[in-house]
Amino acid sequence: RASSRSIADVHAMLATLTIGSLAMTAPKARVSSASKVVMSDRPNALPFFGSSTILDGSMVGDYGFDPLGLSKTDLNLGSANEKDRSQAYVLRDYREAELRHGRLAMLAALAWPVQELFNPVLSRVLREPNYLAQIGGKSPSVLNGGLGLGPVPYTIAAFALLIAAVDIYSIQLKKEVGENWLPGDFGFDPLKVLGGASLEAKRDMQEKELNNGRLAMVAITTYVIEEFLGKAPVIALNPFFFKPIYEYPAFQDFMNAAFQVSSFRTD
């Protein structure tokens, strides 16, 4: 019960924080703010590991947490022709990878329980098979299985192609902008959230996105482990967070009276 309570706390934090998260950074902030702001009073997450010369607090979201010293190592997952990259460039490359994973995790952390909640209803409304029922109502994953069910393989393939397209665009963008490219900035800000914002406001919103993404990565990992160990959907293991509105009698009565939606009836 204690572990379930701690997991539930993670879910509650995720639901609160992801409301204000941004998916992309502003297109006008091409020059990295890492070279503009230095935070000398940066907290050191693990003081007993010592401080890192590259993690000096100038980058948004830098809390001094790098116990394995990965910021000093160039894994060079890109082109083999880029062997002499500066530490600052490598660190920004890692930051872009973190942003991508965080953005995908925020989408996944929302989509995971949503599909478990609404798949039974949508399958009845659309008269389609309830694929999740074949794996106990859990979301398809490597541990849960179900990756070969229905449209799941095609969905995975579509996301893989989308990620590949983003990666190709990112490589081209880095070449065009040069040394001052900003991690995660793909010029996508249709609502102009950061247009004309001050440097401090931009850093604040970027840090919120990072923190939400980090929490989402923890949450989605928790979902996978919880369902594998609990042998039940995450919405069943934490019903107080995920009880859908269509299960409330008042909502069922309204839908049945107004739209004659028989799929909302539970009797």
User: Annotated binding residue at 98?
Assistant: yes
- Whole-angstrom distance, CA of residue 41 vs CA of residue 92: 21
- Residues 244, 155, 75: CA angle, nearest 5 degrees: 110
- Whole-angstrom distance, CA of residue 146 vs CA of residue 138: 9
Distances (CA, A) of 101 to 105, 135, 178: 6, 26, 23
User: Annotated binding residue at 176?
Assistant: no
Closest among 22, 86, 95, 27 to 58, alpha carbons compared: 95
- Whole-angstrom distance, CA of residue 58 vs CA of residue 38: 4
- Residues 179, 52, 29: CA angle, nearest 5 degrees: 30
User: Annotated binding residue at 209?
Assistant: yes
User: Annotated binding residue at 1?
Assistant: no
Beta bridge partner(s), residue 145: 141
Closest among 222, 101, 216 to 167, alpha carbons compared: 101
Q: What's the distance, CA 144 to chain centroid?
A: 20
User: Annotated binding residue at 192?
Assistant: no
User: Annotated binding residue at 71?
Assistant: yes
Q: Which residues are annotated as a binding site?
A: 71, 98, 101, 103, 208-209, 212, 214
Residue ranges of the annotated binding site for chlorophyll a are 71, 98, 101, 208-209, 212, 214
Q: Which residues are annotated as a binding site for chlorophyll b?
A: 103
